[in-house]
Amino acid sequence: MAKKELWKGNEAMSETALRAGCRFFSGYPITPQTPITEYLAWRLAEVDGVFIQAESELAAATMLLGASIAGTRALTATAGPGLSLMTESLSCLASGRLPAVIVDVQRGGAATGNLQGAQSDYNMVTKTLGHGGLKGLVYGPSTVEELCDIIYDAWDKAEKYRTPVFILSDASLGQMMEPVDIKPFKQLDESRFDLPYVIGREQSEKKVIQDTPYAGPYNTMSENLDYNYRKYNEVYEKWKEDEVLYEEYMMDDAEYVIIGWGMAARISKSAIRNLRKKGIKVGMIRPISLFPLPEKPLNALDAKKIKGVLVVEMAIPALFYYDVKAQIDKNIPIKANLHCGGYLSQVDEIEEDIMKMAGGK
């Protein structure tokens, strides 16, 4: 077993990305993502990779298109304001079914907002990648180790399904230091250059990149898009069966359930332990994949057993809450514990909300 090392989240994730085969990074500095750009600026050169500090976030995301088509494992990272500027190219990645990894180190608030951690980019990433309604795989880690685990496998999944993969980190996770197991370098073989979207190899046959295969050579653009997007949606439905990740915490005898992801879920675990000491049986369902959302464990919550659900998230107005509400039995009472703008979820407030559900115990 490898020796654990103490790393900051942003830097541990960056190093793990290189070990997963990432050899191209384009980015634009923005707090709290900047340590990723700073780390990769020197570290990529040591593994014969390419680093580009782009002139804008849009340019950084657009460069992913070319890097992916060239067969390179490509990465960009940003925060909420930069993500807004990237959306045009993210839509192109999804439309062309081009694999790439995008890390959003979230910060609080709209416009320039605040610099502390938040979860307010949830809808921007889980509902549609820019205009057009297409999607990518989305993950919300809660520890530095999990952040590294997810990015280590991210390109494997991106190439398997020909999709962008998003990782929703946040300022707190990016800056905290935790012991992590830094993974070994993956050995990538040459067969990846024969993937159907990769160009530039003489032996390669005709390549298909954007909105292909077509419904037929004489069809209209509308017919082609309708045909292709139905095919894309079949992939998204397959993810719901094969790519769902979640954790159940103290759920065996739970009467009250906290549902949260990322940092909000991590904070909630402290509240659960405290409430258990008071005799209140609380558990948690923590989605790790945000798209696809783990619908089955939410559907399975039994109204005869579960007396209440509390959704904890760092966003106002609520975002994730409504996805949870749509999946659980309508007879189960549900409330939201919300903070935003860099104001983290609070253990005492979570405890108070559950105790109110339990009748003020």
pTM: 0.94
Tokens 């605040």 belong to which residue? 114
Query: What pLDDT, on a 0 to 100 scale, did the predictor assign at position 361?
Result: 53
Average pLDDT score over residue span 118-122: 94
Residue type, 266: R
C-alpha span between 328 and 317 (Å, rounded): 20
Q: Which two tokens stand for residue 149?
A: 């685990």
Average pLDDT score over residue span 340-349: 89
At 187-210, the pLDDT tens digits run 987 666 667 767 655 554 555 666
pLDDT at 233 over 60: yes
C-alpha span between 282 and 292 (Å, rounded): 25
Q: Which two tokens stand for residue 265?
A: 């879920």
Q: Which two tokens stand for residue 214?
A: 């077509």
Chain centre to alpha carbon of residue 282: 26
Query: What pLDDT, on a 0 to 100 scale, did the predictor assign at position 193?
Result: 67
**What are the structural domains of the chain?**
5-190 (3.40.50.970), 247-357 (3.40.50.920)
- The sheet carrying 334-338 orders its strands as 246-249, 282-287, 256-259, 308-313, 334-338
Query: What pLDDT, on a 0 to 100 scale, did the predictor assign at position 45?
Result: 97
pLDDT at 213 over 60: no
Chain centre to alpha carbon of residue 341: 19
Beta bridge partners of residue 103, listed in sequence order = 77, 167
Asked if residue 346 lies in contact with residue 339, where contact means CB atoms within 8 angstroms, the answer is yes
